[in-house]
Structure 1
Amino acid sequence: MIRRYGEQVRRGQRYRLRTGVYAILEQGGALLLTCKEDDPTDIQLPGGGIDAGESTLQALHREVFEETGWRIAAPRRLGAFRRFVFMPDYDMWGEKLCHIYAARPVRPHGPPSEPGHRALWMPIADAAPRLGNAGDRAFARAFAEAGRTRGRAAA
């Protein structure tokens, strides 16, 4: 069973399935995130919808590059969650199936290619509570906690 976060399903509302992939990109205790230039408080994990004919990993690489300008390596799946939301960019109600991966940011290749996006780095402890949806926050917190546990085990 895939955990659901966010709003309750609205009775009688039709939802269109939108499968997406999102990345937790950590380097030196900070996360590489994205926000829209017109709303810098709406902080998100980089990612988005998987296009027709595209694999999950192809979409992950494309979306991270479009929203941050960075290339990534060594993706590993952490899990998935669902949320039911109105998607204003598409003028539709969506059942978002969100696949979450951790990957290593390799290097930037310039600014984000997707108009209106801005990449930003934020300490993981600050980032996790500021992410724009509860599913992203839960995965970022679990990732941070697993890192603290790995750090104690290595010490």
Structure 2
Amino acid sequence: MTPRFGDAPESGRRYVTRPGAYVILPRAGSLLLTYQSHPYPEFQLPGGGIDPGEGPIEALHREVFEETGWRMTRPRRLGAFRRFTFMPEYEIWAEKVCLIYTAMPVRPLGPPTEPHHVPTWMPVAEAAERLGNPGDAAFVRRFARSSRR
């Protein structure tokens, strides 16, 4: 069973299943994150929803570029988690099924194309504390433990 992070689903509320792909992008002890300033400010793993007809890896490449302006390579799946949340940008309650990957950041191609996003490099330990959702933070902590071995 896929673990759940965050609030439990509310009884009687209808949730739209929303699959997404997110990535941990390490380089020299830091992670490439995106800082989203709207609809509320938070640090996030780059990534987002998988569009109809799109696979998770294709979505991951698109989302990383849109949110950071960077190109990445060699994605490898680490796991998945679920969370139940309101998505104000779409005005829906969603059961987000979050597929988590790690990959290598290659180089920036330009600024993010998605409004309100700023690419941000942050030390791994700090990222685990400052990420906006507990599922992302849990995967970053797990990644940090496995990379020390």
1:63 maps to 63
Is the radius of gyration larger for structure 1 or structure 2?
A: 1
Q: Deviations over 1:57-109 (max 9, x none)?
A: 00000000000000000000000000001111110100000000000000000
* Distance (Å, rounded) in 1 between the aligned partners of 2:87 and 2:118: 20
Q: Tell whether 2:101 aligns with 1:94.
A: no
SS at match of 1:136: helix
One-letter amino acid of the structure 1 residue matched with residue 49 of structure 2: G
* Distance (Å, rounded) in 1 between the aligned partners of 2:86 and 2:33: 22
* Distance (Å, rounded) in 2 between the aligned partners of 1:48 and 1:62: 9
Q: Tell whether 2:27 aligns with 1:13.
A: no
Q: Where does the alignment leave 5 or more consecutive residues of structure 2 unmatched?
A: none
* Equivalenced residues, count: 149
* Distance (Å, rounded) in 1 between the aligned partners of 2:74 and 2:46: 16
Q: How does 1:103-122 map to 2 (within 5 A)?
A: 103-122=103-122
Higher mean C-alpha displacement, 7-16 vs 37-46: 37-46
* Distance (Å, rounded) in 2 between the aligned partners of 1:89 and 1:114: 13
Q: How does 1:70-149 map to 2 (within 5 A)?
A: 70-149=70-149
Q: Tell whether 2:22 aligns with 1:22.
A: yes
Percent of pairs with identical residues:
59
Q: TM-score, normalised by structure 1?
A: 0.93
* Distance (Å, rounded) in 1 between the aligned partners of 2:8 and 2:64: 29
Q: TM-score, normalised by structure 2?
A: 0.97
The alpha carbon displacement at 1:39 in A equals 7.5
Over the residues paired in the alignment, what is the CA RMSD in angstroms?
Answer: 1.2
